[in-house]
Amino acid sequence: MGTKDFNILDEFIARWRLRQVRRQVRPHARVLDFGCGHQAFFLRSVSREISRGVGLDYDAESEKIDPNIEILNSRFSGKLEFPDQSFDQVSILAVLEHIPVDEVDALFREFYRVLTPGGQVLLTTPTPAAKPVLEFMAFRLKIISQPEIADHKHYYSREDILDVAQRNEFALHYFTGFQFGFNCLGVLQKPA
């Protein structure tokens, strides 16, 4: 979550997003947070509720930040370096929109592989309705991170999330919009 140039408004929006996701975290889960950001804020916020957390991000330094939380400097290159069924949940928060569309399925196939049966992907991403608003706030008003918004590859609708789920053998277990419909939360579940 987030880049080093986040301002107070960016952080407020991110914290609002995390409140939505925390409700979906299973007690004592083993969680992989893909694109955790340099501060690994999500994993820090759930560290007492989960048994193990691993954060991956190219912008983070590898370190153990809690007895049960480890951050790894990592850039996805087609394979996650974990054994099959290593995690109960994978989170990808405000990251999917930054992934080139032609690489999304490879990433979700790896999520499927590292999840236990019944495991879940927790994802948040801006919706198509957010595009003009975010671009106005970033490039005209200059009140949110310009590099973050400029890096968006795609804005995902419910139908887009459902399509990603189905192509990669997940069921869309839960979906909701929040932040006035400009953001969405999807929970994709691997068959038990």
SS3 71: strand
- Dump pLDDT digits (tens) for 11-61: 777 788 888 899 999 999 999 999 998 889 899 999 999 999 999 999 889
SS3 11: helix
CA distance 188 to 96: 13
Closest to 76 measured CA to CA, from 94, 95, 89: 95
CA distance 50 to 46: 6
- Dump pLDDT digits (tens) for 83-130: 999 999 999 999 999 999 999 999 999 999 999 999 999 999 999 999
